Amino acid sequence: MIILLQLNPDQLSAVEHKDSPLLVAAGPGSGKTRVIVERIIYLLKNGLKPSEILCLTFSEKAAQEMKERLEKIIDVTDMQISTFHSFCHDVLGDNVLDSGIGIGSGVMTRSSTLVWALKNIDTFGFEHIELGNNAVNVIEALIDGISTFKDELITPEELSEYLNKKFKAEKTLVQDIEQYDYLQKLCDLHKIYVKHQDYLKKSRLIDFDEMITSTIELFRKKPNVLARYHNKFKHVLVDEFQDNNYAQLELIKILSPSGNVTVVGDDDQSIYRFQGAFIANFQHFIESYKDKVKVIVLKQNYRSPPAPTLAQTRIQPDQEKIQYEISWPNIDRIERIFPSKITLDINDTKPLELKSNDFSLTVDMSGVISGKPVLETMSELDLVKLNAKIRIQWIIFQAAKQILPEIKQDWKGSQEDLMMQLVKIVEDFIESDKITVLNVDESDEIRRKLIIAFNLTKIVKHIASEIKISNTQERRLVLNKENPIKSTGNMQPWYTRKPNDPTLHSHINFTVHDSRWEAAATQELERNSQVESWAKNDHLGFKILYLFNGILHEYWPDYLVRLKNGITLVLEIKGEDSEQNRAKREAIKEWVEAVNEDGKFGAWSWDVAFDPGEVRTIIKKHNETIPSINYITKCPACGKTASSIQDIDKLFGFRNMSGFIRSQSWCRDCRKNKT
């Protein structure tokens, strides 16, 4: 049974709107995501099937958030929730015969385009653009220019036609030197634009901008293809609409000519201006459907919510239980100090085992390998065909490109130098004996290469981790400038009707149960005598950033637990494992290590429970652990020092200072003598 939660009048109007295009202008804190979810539920309740709703967003994060929220309420298996680029990639892949566009070699990313342009810079024949000693920045600007033209659906042919018309007006141009100079530089940009398109076509590649422009061209030229999508999707819903460019707006109009569309966005909060976001998106959407668009503005802000009219539980810190407060450093990132040259001694590198049925593709590899090939059942001919599509040098380059974002943020040299070093390291590792492919004969080079390609994500993680271990000279915490320290006391009050229970040993007054597993874990934390205090990370704001497939993600662990021995345990409850979850664990491991190395924020540890029954064992294990932190305590009265947890506890003792467990300033003897 589908039930709509209580909505304010504007939200309800947006959710239940019928029969015309809908534009929802929603500022921060106005319940935008909730309205999107409730509108989808309303559409399902009124006859649409999940497979008949297309949900499009600009970012992967927004698509994932929408999916996770819906999964708690309905089955979204048949519903397409994706980014514009992912949707268009699927359309082109499913309609190769109609589009004539071969994308078998994958997607050409911005970094790949930059490398291609720098390698071919001498072939462009620039006459008016000066490269000087700043070729990288100039090429980047030209690549941005090509991207802008594609966003505006301007082809090289149309740009050429525009330039020809302008240069025919020679008398006018002579009088406007600046305009003439601009057009001449535009001619040079046209040269690289043409060569770039030729390269994409010959290499059977496609870039991210062209995914959308090619899909629009396919729909315009092949009405029969477009008709299939019109029949398939009865309603189109677009989130982050303020960040869409002109091409994305055109795609929306093509997919929903009758107005079966809902767009949601904040006209004042475009965060992707670099992507060519259309400042006048809202106005152009209204003009596209003439006077049929219904505009609803969500005015009420829920970031500091008023008391609700219907009975709900107010979740907030309980100031009478301040002794259970838990604090943590609000880390923007962990800075690594690297040497001027990145190296990796392959002999000292940990080996990596791959199984013949393992499968963990990177984003770029997904564009080359469709589905999940099973090598054991493939014919020799199919193996040869697949092998021909994947070159070992291409594998090496893709792996290096995926490692690049993890290293470059702390790299002091040029990106080109770093990329060359990473390519060499990856090549040495892949060609070494450090990779063992189980159940595959070493002489079977084709199967070995394909399994390496199928497991590129795992290889990238392994090499990146080894590089960091071998080359990190020092780690430094970069704290948020505005809020360097966060605590359970900072949580803003919020309301819920979900099942919840009052707490005894938590600074937060109630805990909300999203699942039976969490309820079981909460009960264990409340009754366990080795737990000093705990808090569920629900609206607390404790997050850890991590990279997966070259994309920055946010990780929100489930619980913070302060143990009797003074350790703060970051605890995750996880039902199943995956490559992405393993990337999260690598991030929390580094976070804990870096915080303990810093030594100013007490002792920390982390763990994952794959079953609620493991929580008690985990607590016992960490309560008996003696953590290692870089912290030296010195008594100002007698000069006595202690540097280990045991010595600090024995000689000084600990105290709770604003949610952190820290040593007493004076030693026990001097405090005793003082009194």
17-21, 207-211, 506-510: which is most confident? 506-510
Per DSSP, the three-state class of 291 is coil
Say what the pLDDT of residue 273 is. 35
Model pLDDT for residues 628-638, shown as the tens digit of each residue: 555 667 787 78
pLDDT of residue 275: 39
More confident position, 377 or 472 = 472
The predicted model gives 577-597 an average pLDDT of: 86
Over residues 544-556, the pLDDT tens digits come to 988 776 566 788 8
Is 75 found in the same domain as 112?
A: no
Instruction: Show the beta-strand stretches assigned E in 114-260.
Output: 206-207, 235-238
pLDDT beyond 80 at 375: no
pLDDT tens digits for range 452-466 = 887 787 888 888 888
* pLDDT of residue 363 exceeding 70: no
Could you tell me the two tokens for 474?
């020092």
In a domain, residue 320? The reply is no
For 610-649, strand residue ranges (E) read 633-634, 641-642
Structural domain of 15: 9-99+222-298
Name the helix (H) or strand (E) containing 221: helix 208-221
Biggest alpha carbon–alpha carbon distance for the chain: 96
pLDDT reported for residue 417:
85
Within this chain, do residues 254 and 192 fall inside the same structural domain, yes or no? no
Task: Give pLDDT, residue 270.
Answer: 38
Contact present, 563 and 530 (Cβ < 8 Å): yes
> Burial of 117 by CB count in 10 Å (0-12 exposed, 13-18 middle, 19+ buried)?
buried
pLDDT tops 70 at residue 512? yes
Indicate if 119 and 93 belong to the same structural domain: no
CA–centroid distance for 637 within its chain = 51
Q: Which of 298, 315, 348 is the last residue of a domain?
A: 298
Number of domains the chain contains: 5
Say whether both 402 and 446 belong to one domain: yes
pLDDT digits (tens, 9 = 90+) for 121-146: 888 888 888 877 677 778 888 888 88
Which residues fall within 8 angstroms of residue 315, CB to CB, at 6 or more apart?
491, 493, 494, 495, 496, 500, 508, 509, 510, 512, 538, 539
Query: Alpha-carbon distance 12 to 41, whole Å?
Result: 12
pLDDT at 244: 76
> Of 76-80, 277-281, 401-405, which range is least confident?
277-281
Amino acid at 435: I
Residue 427 predicted with pLDDT over 80: yes
Q: Tell whether 211 is covered by a domain.
A: no
Question: Tell me, what DSSP letter sits at residue 492?
Answer: P
pTM (predicted TM-score): 0.46
Radius of gyration of the chain (CA): 29
Q: Which tokens in the block code for residue 636? A: 């100002």
Query: pLDDT tens across 162-195, in order?
Result: 888 877 765 454 455 667 778 888 898 999 999 9
User: Is residue 315 in some structural domain?
Assistant: no
pLDDT in the model for residue 133: 66
Residues 178 and 278 in one domain: no
Distances (CA, A) of 92 to 175, 213, 314, 367, 412: 47, 11, 49, 11, 40
CATH number of the domain bearing residue 284: 3.40.50.300
Please check whether residue 361 is in contact with residue 421, taking contact to mean a CB–CB distance below 8 angstroms: no
- The per-residue pLDDT of the chain, averaged, comes to 80
Exposure class string for 195-227: b at 16+ Cβ within 10 A, else e: bbbeebeeeebbbbbbbbbbbbebbeeeeebbe
